[in-house]
Amino acid sequence: MTTTLFISPGACAMASHVALLEAGAPHETTVVDLKKGEQRTPEYLSVNPAGSTPALRTDRGVITQNAAILGWVAETFRERDLAPVDDPFEYARFNAFNGWLSSSLHPALGKVLFSRPALEGEARAHAVEFALGKLDLAEQHLVEGPWVFGETWTLSDGYLMVFERWARQAGLLDKARYPKLNAHLDLVQSRDAVKKMLTVEGLQPV
C-alpha cells in the first residue's frame, strides 16, 4: 500500500513525514503551500475539511493529526520498533507526550510565531513567556534524554524536533536554559531519516 502524505515544508507535518521514512513505509508527498492558502482550496478541503496539514491518505481513507498518524505508523510497522506498542503503559505515555505536543507546546509556540497580525509589545512578551514555560516543562520534566524516553528512540523524538526547530529558528532555544532540548535537536537532526525528510522538504538542519 502506498500512502500520500500532505505536507507543508517546515511545518508540523515534518513529524509524520519522519515517521513514514523511519518506518520505510512506501509513500508519496504532496505539498500544500500554506502561504498561498492552498489548505483552503476545495481540492484540499475534500482531503481534510479542517484545512490543515498533515493528512495521510491511505487505502482505507484519510488520517489527520500528527499524534494519530504516528500511532498508525507505529502499529502498522511494528517490526520497526518505532514506539512501545506492545506495552499498554508505555504506549499510553508515548501517546500522552504526543498529545501534549499537539495540545500544549504547538499552540504556545504557534501563537508567538504565526499570529497574524504579528504580536507586539506586551502581548508578544506574554506569549513568549508562556511558550518558554512549556519548553521549561519539557526540559525539566518530560524529556529524559538523550531521547524523549531515555535510551530508546521513538517517533515522539521526530515530533518534538518540529518545535525545537521552530524555537531555535526564533531564537527561543537558549543553550544554557535548554541544554537537553538543544542536544536532543542536534541528535535528531543527525538521523538518516530526518536528513532525508529535510532534503525532500527543501530544508536545512537548523
Ligand X SMILES: N[C@@H](CCC(=O)N[C@@H](CS)C(=O)NCC(=O)O)C(=O)O
Residues contributing to the site for ligand X (CB under 6 A)? 8, 11-12, 34, 39, 51-54, 65-66, 102
Phi, psi values for residue 51, rounded to 5°: 65, 35
Minimal distance, residue 110 CB to ligand X, in Å: 7
User: Count of alpha carbons within 13 Å of 104, Cβ hemisphere only?
Assistant: 16
Minimal distance, residue 16 CB to ligand X, in Å: 8
- DSSP β-bridge partners for residue 157: none
Minimal distance, residue 175 CB to ligand X, in Å: 25
Minimal distance, residue 151 CB to ligand X, in Å: 26
Provide the residue type at 75 as one letter.
E
Q: Indicate the residue among 36 and 60 with the shorter CB distance to ligand X.
A: 36
Q: Indicate the residue among 115 and 190 with the shorter CB distance to ligand X.
A: 115
Q: Which three cell numbers stand for residue 175?
A: 543553550
Query: Which runs of consecutive H residues, i.e. helices, occur in 48-105?
Result: 66-76, 88-100
Q: Indicate the residue among 63 and 132 with the shorter CB distance to ligand X.
A: 63
Q: Indicate the residue among 34 and 183 with the shorter CB distance to ligand X.
A: 34
Q: Indicate the residue among 29 and 102 with the shorter CB distance to ligand X.
A: 102
What is the 8-class DSSP label of residue 1?
Answer: -
- DSSP β-bridge partners for residue 3: 27
Minimal distance, residue 70 CB to ligand X, in Å: 9
Minimal distance, residue 53 CB to ligand X, in Å: 4
Q: Indicate the residue among 17 and 184 with the shorter CB distance to ligand X.
A: 17
Contacts of 56 (CB under 8 A, 6+ apart): 3, 4, 5, 6, 16, 62, 63, 64, 69, 72
What is the 8-class DSSP label of residue 178?
Answer: -
Give the three-class secondary structure for 145.
Answer: coil
